[in-house]
Structure 1
Amino acid sequence: MEIVFIGSGNIASHLAKAFHANGNIIRQIYSRTLAHAQTLARDVNAAPTDSLKHLVPDADLYIIAVADDAIPSVIRQLPKTLKGIVVHTSGATSLDILQEFQHFGVIYPPQSINKHIDTDFSKISFGVEANTEENLRLLFNTLKSIAPKTFACNSQQRLALHVAAVIANNFSNALFQMAYDILQHEQLDFELLKPIILETAHKVQYHPPYETQTGPARRGDYKVIDKHLEFLSQQPEERKIYQLLTDFIIKRYQK
């Protein structure tokens, strides 16, 4: 398959290299900054460009791998006569944003990807969506060659997956930082929490999170909860978050 990448950042870098290693031809790499396009293009034997008007018109697949807020601008500049399937990689952007093209779809990985850190696509699930069954089949088979856990989904499922990924990844990381700050304030090392963090992550690999919930809110231990809230009385934002999550857990397990 001949592929054009529109973008040279985190996901574009990993996908381009994976597809190239799997025998696909990477025709072009586009970036607003030519030097960035050139860097990735050298790795995958592709032609670099900083002009969307100069994209080859006859590739099999065009992958828009840019920030969500840049997708509409890129689409406006793309020739609508592109012959291949045009896809974006966003979890929260509509499939219909691409409807001016004849063939279009979405390939979305619910994963935080950094081009400077190795990524094993064999462990990542890609949600695939397309405007026709034939395009879905082509995208599914193309992705499955590098990411065996690829699955078909609709827009609502993809958005749900994106929301869930933000909660599980971004929100949990923010809570890790909150815990880090609390410990630092008392001259305690964050290393003390790493075993329980790893244990929690390990348990949800094998059990539904509902079954593995522990803690004072799960037990309905209001004396401990009150002590925690008093401890956080000088940190109103952290106290509010603690109270909201505590209330959420209590209501969930009182049903």
Structure 2
Amino acid sequence: MNLVIIGSGNIATHLAKACYATGHNILQVYSPTLANANALASVVNSQSIDDLQLISKHADVYLIAVSDAAIHQVTQALDPSIEGIVVHTSGATSIEVLQAFHRYGVIYPPQSLNKEIDTDLSVIPFGIEADSERTFDTLLRLIAPVTPKAFPCDSSQRLALHLSAVLVNNFSNALFQMAEEILTREHLSFDLLKPIIAETAQKVQQHSPKDTQTGPARRGDYQVINKHLQFLTQYPEESKIYQLLSDFIVKRYPK
């Protein structure tokens, strides 16, 4: 297939490289910063552009891989008469933003990607939504050589998946940061927690998180919980978060 990549960031870079590596032709790479478009285009043997008015009308797929805030701006600038499939990669943006086009869809990987870090996309699930069965089949043919884990996913499911990805990735990392700051204030190294972090992540690969929960809240050990809260009186924000999460766990494991 002939593709136009709209964007040059993390997802755009990974998908452009993956599609190029699986035999697709990248006609153009667009970025409002031409240097960024050049950097990606040079890797996938493509033309770089910094003006949406210069986008080819002869692509099979137009892959919009930009920030959620920029998707609307891009769709407004694209010619609605283009015949190719217009696709975005957002987890939180409805497919309806694309309905002005003849054919449209979404390809969403619930994964934190960094264009500077090589990632094996074959182990990552990709949710696909499309305006029709015909479009879905085309997008599946595009992504199937990249990953065997593609699956149908409507806008509501995709939003739930995106939210859940934030919980397990961004929020868990915020808790790591919180723990690191507490340990640093007590002259301890965050390295001391890395084995338990790895063990927790490993457990959920084989078991439900509900079955692997441990700790004082899981046991209903209020003596320990109260000791922790007493220690956290010097950390008001952390104390609130600890209390909320402890309450959440306690309610799910009633005695």
**TM superposition score normalised by structure 2:** 0.99
C-alpha distance in structure 2 between counterparts of 1:141 and 1:42, whole Å: 25
1:111-126 map, 5 Å:
111-126=111-126
C-alpha distance in structure 2 between counterparts of 1:168 and 1:140, whole Å: 27
Q: CA deviation at 1:100?
A: 0.2
C-alpha distance in structure 2 between counterparts of 1:63 and 1:171, whole Å: 29
C-alpha distance in structure 2 between counterparts of 1:35 and 1:200, whole Å: 42
After superposition, the C-alpha distances for 1:43-70 in whole angstroms (9 at most, x for unaligned) are 1010010011110001000000000111
Counterpart residue number, 2:58: 58
Q: Which letter maps to 1:52? A: L
C-alpha distance in structure 1 between counterparts of 2:247 and 2:158, whole Å: 28
After superposition, the C-alpha distances for 1:107-127 in whole angstroms (9 at most, x for unaligned) are 000000000000101110000
Contact persistence 1:8–1:31 (CA under 8 A): yes
C-alpha distance in structure 1 between counterparts of 2:237 and 2:54, whole Å: 50
After superposition, the C-alpha distances for 1:196-252 in whole angstroms (9 at most, x for unaligned) are 000000000000000000000000000000000000001110000000000000001
1:89-168 map, 5 Å:
89-168=89-168
Contact persistence 1:180–1:190 (CA under 8 A): yes
1:221-240 map, 5 Å:
221-240=221-240
Counterpart residue number, 1:198: 198
C-alpha distance in structure 2 between counterparts of 1:209 and 1:141, whole Å: 34
SS in 1 for 2:29: strand
SS in 2 for 1:232: helix
SS in 1 for 2:233: coil
C-alpha distance in structure 2 between counterparts of 1:147 and 1:86, whole Å: 20
Q: CA deviation at 1:163?
A: 0.6
Ranges in structure 1 where 5+ consecutive residues have no aligned partner: none
Q: Does 1:29 align with 2:22?
A: no
Q: Which letter maps to 2:39? A: T
Q: Which letter maps to 1:5? A: I
Contact persistence 1:140–1:152 (CA under 8 A): no
- Count of residues in correspondence between the two structures: 255
Q: CA deviation at 1:81?
A: 1.2
Q: Percent identity over the alignment?
A: 61
C-alpha distance in structure 2 between counterparts of 1:136 and 1:154, whole Å: 11
Moved over 2 A (4+): none
C-alpha distance in structure 2 between counterparts of 1:178 and 1:248, whole Å: 19
C-alpha distance in structure 2 between counterparts of 1:12 and 1:134, whole Å: 24
Q: CA deviation at 1:42?
A: 0.7
Q: Which letter maps to 1:102? A: H
Q: CA deviation at 1:140?
A: 1.2
Q: CA deviation at 1:82?
A: 1.3
